[in-house]
Structure 1
């Protein structure tokens, strides 16, 4: 069965790279409740949350907000705590951290609350002023600085596409990006080996994205993201599409990997639902 493929974005170039895979550019103004559950999607998490508000459930999968924090310390190299925003500081979950902590929304991205370093002693006050719902899931980590970062797209236990996206402070898309890639050939090879080991040994959904990075010549997992909403960088579009397709549970065989929106994503209204 050939399923329709819709790319929800305001950026034309994202949709255009998937045209060979049959992609249709969707501006995201509305949704068809009849065809949507059988469609392959690339879309922002906030848009999918709005679809859910409209009563349209899409069969999307991800590693989940607690996946990273449950990994062995040997794979992540830092302490990671994930919990509700309104419970930060309870049960002494900040006591073991240093003066600064890295704070992000797991499996969610909001311009109003970007991933950033914060003073540990001020964190509860900072979060209280964020305007986010109390049940928002946040992730607190020891700061870790990666010299090189790479993304890997996974489909059914295999890495099907890969892309570097940060090299010694130069980010993908910068004017000197091509020159920067020659500075990290050894690191890139090490990251490839490490990423394949993680994919092989750590359980994950049939389709997802794995970000890994190098620090002091040692590779670690940065995070996992949903294949159906992650930036594509220099990844091979055909391989990325394979991971996106694999991240859809059309048969209902993988309820343990079902994506549930972080409450922070429920800030938008419901989508317009098309009627026949």
Structure 2
């Protein structure tokens, strides 16, 4: 394909998933060019084009800088910065080295990239050792909380554009929001209203919320350009993805603090 003209192009990672296929179809319906990368290198024919990206962190890191893409990540400490009435549990942003020394069970995850499996660890001894991962790696350590149902929300400019259930009792269960929709919508409004200051979010982002025995709670926030759409409307997901990883030249000042630092790719 040729990058002639000024129209944008949606570039999908080589290992395209179901959401990627849906986004490619949605892009085609609105006359937007879309292509799947043949490898983990930036396609030469897209040099100088207005590129938007959908794929995982490894793909963004491999091609983003060369193609002038600006992927937006929520702040690493976003969940920890929220008030307790929204998280329903203690959440702390710390380092892997500090978490290794903790006793007792906790849910531990890397806030952005999947450096290790996010799950409940009996204690810090089960976390990756220094021979596998640097102790300075940021991690979120959370009090264990059981989510009865979990929902994915694609958010653009502080408004929910699409929502889907993705889990029941910790197991994958994809469906529409159903009877949970009114309470989910009300809680989402509270969460997004609290997204200011240290708890601010990028203009395009995914927020996961869940229902627990303690009430509704925030699960986490994720990069929209690397998140599955589940049963969300693909056209609405596409709107969010296009903003979440678009041309650096079109990045707004408000979103600049959320710009993912992309490495130089040599060779």
Instruction: Give your verdict on TM over 0.5.
Output: yes
Equivalent residue, structure 2, for 1:233: 230
RMSD: 2.9
- Residues in 2 aligned to 1:211 and 1:36: alpha-carbon distance in whole angstroms: 35
- Residues in 1 aligned to 2:51 and 2:59: alpha-carbon distance in whole angstroms: 15
Question: Compared with structure 1, are the counterparts of its residues 130 and 241 closer, same or farther at alpha carbon in structure 2 (3 Å cutoff)?
Answer: farther
Question: Compared with structure 1, are the counterparts of its residues 138 and 28 closer, same or farther at alpha carbon in structure 2 (3 Å cutoff)?
Answer: farther
Question: Compared with structure 1, are the counterparts of its residues 64 and 57 closer, same or farther at alpha carbon in structure 2 (3 Å cutoff)?
Answer: farther
- Residues in 1 aligned to 2:219 and 2:155: alpha-carbon distance in whole angstroms: 15
Higher RCO, Cα 8 Å, sep 6+: 1
- Residues in 2 aligned to 1:57 and 1:2: alpha-carbon distance in whole angstroms: 15
Q: Which moved more, 1:54-63 or 1:190-199?
A: 54-63
Question: Retained in 1: the 8 A contact 2:210–2:217?
Answer: yes
- Residues in 2 aligned to 1:37 and 1:149: alpha-carbon distance in whole angstroms: 38
Question: Retained in 2: the 8 A contact 1:6–1:24?
Answer: yes
Displacement after TM superposition at 1:26 (Å): 2.0
Equivalent residue, structure 2, for 1:195: 188
Equivalent residue, structure 1, for 2:3: none
Displacement after TM superposition at 1:125 (Å): 6.1
Equivalent residue, structure 2, for 1:148: 149
Structure 1 residue aligned with 2:120, among 117, 120, 124? Answer: 117
Equivalent residue, structure 1, for 2:259: 258
Displacement after TM superposition at 1:251 (Å): 2.7
Aligned length: 247
TM-score where L is the length of structure 2: 0.80
Structure 2 residue aligned with 1:104, among 105, 109, 113? Answer: 109
Structure 2 residue aligned with 1:20, among 26, 32, 41? Answer: 26
- Residues in 2 aligned to 1:199 and 1:224: alpha-carbon distance in whole angstroms: 11
Structure 1 residue aligned with 2:86, among 70, 75, 81? Answer: 75
TM-score where L is the length of structure 1: 0.78
1:204 aligns with 2:215: no
Secondary structure, aligned partner of 1:4: strand
Displacement after TM superposition at 1:36 (Å): 7.0
Gaps of 5+ in 1: none
Displacement after TM superposition at 1:132 (Å): 1.5
What pairs with 1:46-57 in structure 2 (closer than 5 Å)?
A: 46-51=58-63
